Structure 1
Amino acid sequence: MKLETHFIDINCDLGEGIGNEAALMPYISSCNLACGSHAGDVETINRVVALAKKHNVGVGAHPSFPDRANFGRTIMPISFEELGISLRKQIDKVAKACKQHEVDLHHIKTHGALYNLCAGDKSYAEFITDLIEELYPSTPIYAPFNSTMSRVAEGRIKVIYEAFADRNYEADGSLMSRVKPEAVITDKNTVFEHVITMIKDNKIKAFSGEFISARINTICVHGDTPKAVEILKLLNEKLNSNAIKIQTVI
Structure 2
Amino acid sequence: MTPRPACDVNPRIDFNCDLGEGCGDDAAILPLVSSASIACGGHAGDEATMRATLRLCRAHGVAAGAHPSYEDREHFGRRALDVPAAEIARMVGEQIRRLTTIADEEGVRLAHVKPHGALYNVAADDRAVADAIAATVAEFDPSLVLFGLSGSALTEAGAARGLRVAHEVFAERGYDARGRLLPRGTPGAVIDSLDASIAQVRRLAGRGEVVASNGRIVPLRADTLCLHGDRSDAVAFARAVRGALEADGIAVVSFGATA
* Runs of 5+ unmatched residues, structure 2: 1-8
Cα shift at 1:81: 2.9
Cα shift at 1:82: 2.8
Following the alignment from structure 1 to structure 2, what is the Cα–Cα distance between the partners of residues 173 and 5? 19
| Alignment-mate amino acid for residue 150 of structure 1 | T
Per-residue CA distance 1:98-154 (angstroms, 9 max, x = gap): 211212111000011110111101111111111111112111100122211111221
Partner residue of 2:102?
97
Following the alignment from structure 1 to structure 2, what is the Cα–Cα distance between the partners of residues 195 and 11? 13
Aligned pair partner of 2:143 in 128, 138, 145: 138
Partner residue of 1:164?
170
Per-residue CA distance 1:14-45 (angstroms, 9 max, x = gap): 01111410011111000110011101101100
- Partner of 1:105: helix, strand, or coil? coil
Q: 1:177 to 1:247 in 2, by over 3 A?
A: same
Following the alignment from structure 2 to structure 1, what is the Cα–Cα distance between the partners of residues 232 and 56? 22
Aligned pair partner of 2:213 in 207, 217, 220: 207
Identity in percent: 34
Aligned partners of 1:166 and 1:225 also within 8 Å = no
Aligned pair partner of 2:80 in 71, 75, 100: 75
Aligned pair partner of 2:39 in 24, 34, 43: 34
Partner residue of 1:216?
222
CA RMSD of aligned residues (A): 1.5
Aligned partners of 1:61 and 1:107 also within 8 Å = yes
- Partner of 1:240: helix, strand, or coil? helix
Cα shift at 1:225: 2.0
| Alignment-mate amino acid for residue 42 of structure 1 | E
- TM-score, normalised to structure 1, is 0.94
Following the alignment from structure 1 to structure 2, what is the Cα–Cα distance between the partners of residues 7 and 97? 30
Q: How many residues align?
A: 247
Aligned partners of 1:63 and 1:109 also within 8 Å = yes
Partner residue of 2:13?
8
Aligned partners of 2:92 and 2:133 also within 8 Å = no
Following the alignment from structure 1 to structure 2, what is the Cα–Cα distance between the partners of residues 82 and 141? 19
Moved over 4 A (4+): none
Aligned partners of 2:13 and 2:252 also within 8 Å = yes
Aligned partners of 1:186 and 1:227 also within 8 Å = no
Cα shift at 1:226: 3.2
More deviation, 179-188/55-64: 179-188
More deviation, 92-101/104-113: 92-101
